[in-house]
Amino acid sequence: MKKCQSFFFISQIAYLCRMKAEIITIGDEILIGQTIDTNSAWLGEQLHLQGIRLNRIITISDAHQEIIRAVDESFSRADLVLMTGGLGPTQDDVTKETLAQYFGTTLVTHPEVLRGIQDFFASRGREMLEVNNKQADLPKDADILMNMRGTAMGMWFERNGKVLISMPGVPYEMKGIMRDHGFEKIRNYFKTEPIIHKTVLTQGLGESFLAEMISDWETSLRNEGLSLAYLPSPGMVKLRISGFASNGNAEAIEERIDTYITELRRRIPENAFGSDKQTLAEVVGSLLQERNQTLAVAESCTGGLIAHLITSIAGSSAHFLGGVVAYSNESKVNLLGVSAQTLASNGAVSEKVVKEMANGARDKFNATFAVATSGIAGPDGGTDEKPVGTVWISLAGPKKTVAKEFNFGKSRSRNVSISALAALNWLRNEIFNRELE
């Protein structure tokens, strides 16, 4: 309906576009804190990525009057209302009836939806109940957004150039409906300009430090009309680059973004480890797979987290042979072959011991590479010489074994997770550079 355009400025997005959206979340389980509303965060991010301004998120209970009031209010402020929840087959869920009434329509059985629901149950070998038949009763004057992952359909209502989309609250059903139909329909209806986003994942540089290192690159990128967002989490910073693809110049914009990404990776090759939804464990796994190499781990302070991250990736058994969680000194000696003498004279958290752990793991598992960690995760156990947060990481390869000392601060859980990421990223670099072979 409206032609919509947004512009990006330094460090924040200014939407010149007048199109606004609101989210209405229906659910008592959210109001009583039993469920955290992750749907709104996901929808908020997706709208933002499409250049649509989210004005408000409102959570209300599953009650007729509350729904009517909230929709009225949101329509008075916004062009697009995304509603989640309240579409279950039980009597508690009044959203469908309420919306049908609000938009002056009635519920009728949609035969193609009924067949879809019957197929859904049949394909899972589950018996279909009478209440599930009712889920095919949907508003006559709404577009049905088929739910391929469940039995509550999405519904698209229009009034005076404004749109309301109602979806079930189950996150993966809601996301499926938006990805399958919702976003495209929104783009077509509101004629929004597509925005292109690419994310570069970095490890090992703090947000401020990174920003300083790449400030001229960032300035040049912004001068070309692209925008940049820093998204930090413990041990990592994601950099998201965005650009508008107006007048069908999507390919040109994509190329321009890629040029900046190539330049960024050239500048911080040791830190930029991947893109978009990748994980470090996945990137390390692919590298090993490509080269037909294998990995083993020897973990003390990380206590199994590195193995857990690696084995969370399906198919990891092809390159990951296993590991030893050597929490006691005795197990470092017995399972990894660390010398009792080295332990006694250097202590477990030391360069020599961590190297012997890495060598031991490599030998015992007969792996190409091994990574080892030994540190003081906290909150107790620190000394003046080795304060809480001291972590030694070692990498062993066919030709060389190396080690580095780190300190990641005082929180036990941060220490453990940052150590695991630092170890995986260093390993990635060494596999790539082939300096241990």
Does position 378 bind a second copy by CB under 8 A? yes
Distance spanning both ends of the chain, measured CA to CA: 61
The secondary element (H helix, E strand) that includes residue 203 is: strand 195-203
Q: Which one among 306, 338, 422, 423 touches a second copy, defined by CB under 8 A?
A: 306
Q: Which of residues 10-29 bind a second copy (CB under 8 A)?
A: 12-13, 28
Minimum Å distance from CB 436 to a second copy? 21
Does position 407 bind a second copy by CB under 8 A? no
Sole residue written with tokens 């309420």: 98
Does position 55 bind a second copy by CB under 8 A? yes
Minimum Å distance from CB 389 to a second copy? 14
Report the residue count for the chain. 437
**Which of 399, 402, 401, 374 minimizes the C-alpha distance to 389?**
374
Does position 123 bind a second copy by CB under 8 A? no
Do residues 84 and 167 touch, judged by C-beta distance below 8 A?
yes
Task: Specify the stretch interacting with a second copy by CB under 8 A; choose among 41-49, 115-123, 157-165, 183-191.
Answer: 41-49
Do residues 214 and 267 touch, judged by C-beta distance below 8 A?
yes
Annotate each residue in 133-152 with x if it binds a second copy (CB under 8 A) or - if it does not, as one string: --------------------
Does position 365 bind a second copy by CB under 8 A? yes
Does position 32 bind a second copy by CB under 8 A? yes
How open is the CA angle 112-25-60, to the nearest 5 degrees? 125
Q: Are strands 107-109 and 80-84 parallel, antiparallel or unpaired?
A: unpaired
Annotate each residue in 271-300 with x if it binds a second copy (CB under 8 A) or - if it does not, as one string: -------------------------xx-x-
Distance CA 255, CA 272 (A): 19
Distance CA 173, CA 149 (A): 6
Distance CA 160, CA 181 (A): 21
Does position 312 bind a second copy by CB under 8 A? yes
Amino acid symbol at 263: E
Residue 55 or 339 with smaller CB distance to a second copy: 55
CB under 8 Å to 193, separation ≥6 — which residues? 4, 5, 6, 51, 244, 245, 246
Minimum Å distance from CB 82 to a second copy? 12
Does position 129 bind a second copy by CB under 8 A? no
Annotate each residue in 414-433 with x if it binds a second copy (CB under 8 A) or - if it does not, as one string: --x-----------------
Helix (H, G, I), strand (E, B) or coil at 170: coil
Record the tokens describing residue 119, joined without a space.
Answer: 């197929």
Q: Which one among 231, 255, 262, 276 touches a second copy, defined by CB under 8 A?
A: 231
Minimum Å distance from CB 12 to a second copy? 8
Q: Which one among 33, 104, 125, 248 touches a second copy, defined by CB under 8 A?
A: 33
Distance CA 369, CA 67 (A): 59
Q: Count residues binding a second copy (CB under 8 A).
A: 70
Is there a cis peptide before residue 139, judged by omega within 30 degrees of 0? no
Residue 166 or 415 with smaller CB distance to a second copy: 415
Q: Where along the sequence are the contacts to a second copy (CB under 8 A)?
A: 12-13, 28, 30-38, 40-48, 54-61, 229, 231, 296-297, 299, 303-308, 310-312, 314-317, 320-328, 330-331, 334-335, 364-366, 377-380, 412-413, 416
